[in-house]
Amino acid sequence: MKESHILNIETLGKTFSTSNGGSIEALRHVDLDVDENEFLCIVGPSGCGKSTLLRIVAGLEQMTKGRILRRGLEITGAHRDVGMVFQEYSLLPWRNVLDNVALGPEFAGAPKKARRETALACLRLVGMESFSRAFPHELSGGMRQRVAIARALANNPDILLMDEPFGALDAHTRILMQKELLRVWEAHRKTILFVTHGVDEAIYLADRILVMSARPGRIIDIFNVDMPRPRRRSDPVYGQLAEKILNLLEKEAALSFGG
C-alpha cells in the first residue's frame, strides 16, 4: 500500500443470491488502488457490476470476497467520509433545498446554525444558493443533481462516489454539469469515483479510466488520460482514446450478447 492511496480494493468479489435459489456473480477479483485527489471514471457494458462496485465502497452492499481499505482501515458500512450521488433523484421531497443539503450535518448532530451555514456554503459552491427555499419538485433535473452534489459535499467527505449522476439529464445540461463538476473538484480536490456509460464523459472528466468486462465484472484495462483541462472534444488525442475504449467495450458487449 502506497502512502498516497486513499482507497485499496483487494480481490473484491460479489455474488448475489436470487430469490429462486440461484446466484449471480456480479464482480470477480477486482483489484484497484485509488490515489488521493484522483478523478477516476469507471466504464463498462450495462449490468457489469460497476454500480455494485460503488455501492460496496459506499457501504450499502456487502462484499462476498476480498476487502476494501480506506486510508488503511477496512470499510465495514456506510461512512460519513464517503459521499455518494445517485442517478435517480434522491432529494427528500418534503424538505426544501437547504434542509436537504443540511441533512448530513443534521445526522451528525451539528447545531442548527452551523449546519445551515455549511449547507449554504455548499449550495453556493454549486451555484444554487438562491434556490435554498425551493422544494425539489420545483427544480429541473440538472438543478436537483447540483443540490444532490451539494448535499454530498456538506459532509465534507474525502471520497465522492458518483453513480451515473448525469445519466438522466439531457445532452446539453449534461455537458454543463460536467464542467461544473470539474470546477467543484478543482476547488475542493476530493477523490472521485465516477461511474458512467458515456466514454466521452469519462475522457472529458477523468485522470484515469477503468474499463470493466461484462458480467461477472472484472477490470480489463486502465487508461491514463494525459490531456490538460479543460479538454477539448476536438482534440485528436480525445478521439483516439475514445476509439480505443469503444472498441474494447464493443468486444465486451458482443461477448455478453453471445452468452
Partner 1 sequence: MRWKSFFLTAGMYLIIPALFLICWHVAARQVQNEVILPGIGQVAGLLRHPAQDLISMGSLAANVGISLVRVLAGYLLAVMLAVPLGIVMGYYRPVFKLLNGFLSLFRPIPPLAWVPLVLAWFGVASLASVMKVESGPSYIFLNNLKFSMIFIIFIGAFYPVLTSSIHGVANVRRILLDSAHVLGAGRRDIFRKILLPAAAPSIVNGMRIGLGVAWMCLVSAEMLPGSLSGVGYLITHAYTMANTDIVIAGMISIGLVGAGLDLVFRLWEEKKFAWTRMAR
Cell of 20: 429462486
Regarding 166 and contact with partner 1 (CB under 8 A), the answer is: no
Q: Which of residues 67-86 bind partner 1 (CB under 8 A)?
A: 78-80, 82-84, 86
Pairing outcome for strands 23-35 and 5-17: antiparallel
Piece of 132-140, 177-185, 192-200, 205-213 that binds partner 1 (CB under 8 A): 132-140
Regarding 103 and contact with partner 1 (CB under 8 A), the answer is: yes
Regarding 1 and contact with partner 1 (CB under 8 A), the answer is: no
Regarding 185 and contact with partner 1 (CB under 8 A), the answer is: no
Q: Which of 19, 34, 31, 22 is nearest to 65 (CA)?
A: 31
Phi, then psi, of 20 in degrees rounded to 5: -90, 20
From 52, 145, 155, 196, residue interacting with partner 1 (rule: CB under 8 A): 155
Give, for 182, the enclosing helix (H) or strand (E). helix 171-188
Phi, then psi, of 108 in degrees rounded to 5: -80, -5
Judged by CB, which is closer to partner 1: 164, or 252?
Answer: 164
User: Total number of residues binding partner 1 (CB under 8 A)?
Assistant: 29
Regarding 104 and contact with partner 1 (CB under 8 A), the answer is: yes
Cβ atoms of 70 and 79 within 8 Å: the answer is: yes
Cβ atoms of 63 and 49 within 8 Å: the answer is: no
- Least separation in angstroms between residue 14's CB and partner 1 is 17
Phi, then psi, of 63 in degrees rounded to 5: -85, 155
Sign of CA pseudo-dihedral 169, 236, 241, 158: negative
- Least separation in angstroms between residue 161's CB and partner 1 is 8
Q: Which of 118, 91, 83, 95 is nearest to 190 (CA)?
A: 83
Judged by CB, which is closer to partner 1: 18, or 234?
Answer: 18
Judged by CB, which is closer to partner 1: 194, or 204?
Answer: 194
Judged by CB, which is closer to partner 1: 140, or 240?
Answer: 140
Residue 248, number of CB atoms within 10 A of its CB: 18
Judged by CB, which is closer to partner 1: 59, or 198?
Answer: 59
Q: How far apart are CA 5 and CA 150, in angstroms?
A: 25
DSSP state of 166: T
Regarding 94 and contact with partner 1 (CB under 8 A), the answer is: yes
Judged by CB, which is closer to partner 1: 135, or 238?
Answer: 135
Query: Footprint of partner 1 on this chain (CB under 8 A)?
Result: 58-60, 78-80, 82-84, 86, 88-90, 92-94, 103-104, 106-108, 135-138, 148, 151-152, 155
